[in-house]
Structure 1
Amino acid sequence: MRVLVTRPQPDAQATAARLAAAGHQAIVDPMLAVEAIEGARLPDGRFDAVALTSVNGARLLALRPEAAALVRLPLYAVGRRTAAAAPDHSVPMHIASGNGAALVALLRATLPRGARLLHVAGEERAVDLGAALAPDGIHTELFVIYRTVPAGALAPATLAAVEQGWVDAAFHFSARTAATLAARASAAGASAHFRHIRHLCFSANVAAPLAAAGWPTQVADEPTEEGLFALLGG
């Protein structure tokens, strides 16, 4: 199978390598670029736990000077990949099943009323932990350490491959990446060509902007790369 991969680097290249190892071909065209916010300032005060809701947040936290102090706190990760990218931790991690709702449920079940949670995240967030946990008496502070910048256009090689029917499927890991792809395809006058591609998605939320464009979508049984490979058939 020939698969379009539009997630940010370096994850796009890792997915491409995995596709190649499974006997598939990949065309990589990231729709978002991740930028660290160098001037991000850790909120004042004491925290009882740290929450990570993205691999990018986990990866970039590991590079920041604040990580040395934060790794001594209980850490809650949205899923296994996020946990694996987190800084070396001195206490056990709590790992949810891969989505924001599961992480909220885990935090509710384990943090007491009055707890103060640090949410390490990007400027765009799929889950609002503060709003979700406020009724439980859990106070959340945001530590925004990165932003994602959308691509200005599809790469010429991507457009050529799609127009020539070279692409069989596309992997979609986030709603923002999917929405950016749909917008760039429309701007290039190529949206109709993407209707002949199988769009394999992490979740219904990720699939929504693609379905709105009239593209055929399939949703993985679980929001993981393994779930996308299962849809692909290997």
Structure 2
Amino acid sequence: MARVLVTRPEPDASTTAATLRRRGHVPLVLPLSAVGGIEADWPQADTVDVVAVTSANALRHASPARLEALLDLPCHCVGERTAAAARRAGFSHVDTANGYGQNMARRMAARYVSGTRVLYLCGRVRHGAFEQGLAAAGLECTPVETYETVFPAPDTAAVQRVCADGPPDVALAYSARGADALAALAERPGIAPLLSAMRVACLSPAVAERLAGKGAWPILVSPTPEEASLLDLLDSLP
């Protein structure tokens, strides 16, 4: 059993906490970011051939009416969690990659001809590798930004309350910016002692790289960038 700091935004933080409890761990829920919907500019549905999604948040905050016009199209998702969100939204033709945007771009490049029109549901801030991969294959990508992520720093008293029964053994880091927020939090004088002895389990090598040289935490990296794999890694720790 481990005391696990869950830093991802709600509602995902509560979902992860419930999974951790089922696995016998003690979740310490401390979201370091928040996700909110934003107004998006959508192309006409008849100008779209394929839909692509790299975050469940993009579907969660998308206009249901706009989505309804696209549900008969193929929907490519970066991983199983996003694919599950696509199915809940009503997409019936869902393809799932292995968690990496670059790999999803390669899968799509192998399937579609140059000039295929891709509507990419995404956040305002995102990695460029997926879009670059599509462009290299000649696929026409139109990003539709449906959400943005902000990183309000919790106050010291809130962190102390979360850790009132003991500091975390492990923190979960899901994104590069989330890793930055965790590192910044651990530098604060009233919080540093609470987080000094934990390990950090990262969803991907890119997340782990953001923690390089920040603190003395032992860094663990999930074998694949899926939460199930990350939590399996957590279960294997002595």
- Residues 1:213 and 2:214 aligned together: yes
Contact 1:130–1:141 (8 Å) recurs in 2: no
Contact 2:29–2:162 (8 Å) recurs in 1: no
Q: How many residues align?
A: 231
RMSD: 2.1
Tell me the equivalent position of 2:146: 145
Q: Distance in 1 between matches of 2:163 and 2:200?
A: 13
| Structure 1 position 184, deviation (Å) | 2.5
More divergent stretch after superposition (41-50 vs 135-144): 41-50
Percent identity at matched positions? Answer: 38
Q: Distance in 2 between matches of 1:11 and 1:64?
A: 20
Contact 1:30–1:151 (8 Å) recurs in 2: no
Tell me the equivalent position of 1:77: 77
Q: Distance in 1 between matches of 2:59 and 2:189?
A: 34
Report the secondary structure of 2:10's partner residue.
Answer: coil
Q: What per-residue deviation string (whole Å, max 9, x for no partner) do you get for residues 163-216 of structure 1?
A: 985211111111111111212322456446534111001111111222331222
Report the secondary structure of 1:70's partner residue.
Answer: coil
- Residues 1:179 and 2:204 aligned together: no
| Structure 1 position 154, deviation (Å) | 4.8
- Residues 1:36 and 2:37 aligned together: yes
* Mapping 1:7-156, distance limit 5 Å: 7-37=8-38, 39-44=39-44, 46-61=47-62, 63-86=63-86, 87-90=89-92, 92-154=93-155, 156=157
Q: Distance in 2 between matches of 1:34 and 1:158?
A: 20
Tell me the equivalent position of 2:228: 226
Distance 1:110 1:192, change over 3 A: farther
Report the secondary structure of 1:199's partner residue.
Answer: strand
Contact 2:202–2:220 (8 Å) recurs in 1: yes
Q: Distance in 2 between matches of 1:36 and 1:129?
A: 22
Contact 1:182–1:209 (8 Å) recurs in 2: no
Q: Distance in 2 between matches of 1:154 and 1:127?
A: 32
| TM-score, structure 2 normalization | 0.89
Distance 1:10 1:161, change over 3 A: closer
Distance 1:25 1:163, change over 3 A: closer
Distance 1:208 1:194, change over 3 A: farther
Q: Distance in 2 between matches of 1:64 and 1:163?
A: 41
In structure 1, runs of 5+ residues without a counterpart are: none
Report the secondary structure of 1:42's partner residue.
Answer: coil
Q: What per-residue deviation string (whole Å, max 9, x for no partner) do you get for residues 130-179 of structure 1?
A: 32222221110110010001022355242466698521111111111111
More divergent stretch after superposition (3-12 vs 81-90): 81-90
| TM-score, structure 1 normalization | 0.90
Q: Distance in 1 between matches of 2:167 and 2:139?
A: 50
Report the secondary structure of 2:43's partner residue.
Answer: coil
| Structure 1 position 99, deviation (Å) | 1.2
Q: Distance in 2 between matches of 1:189 and 1:209?
A: 23
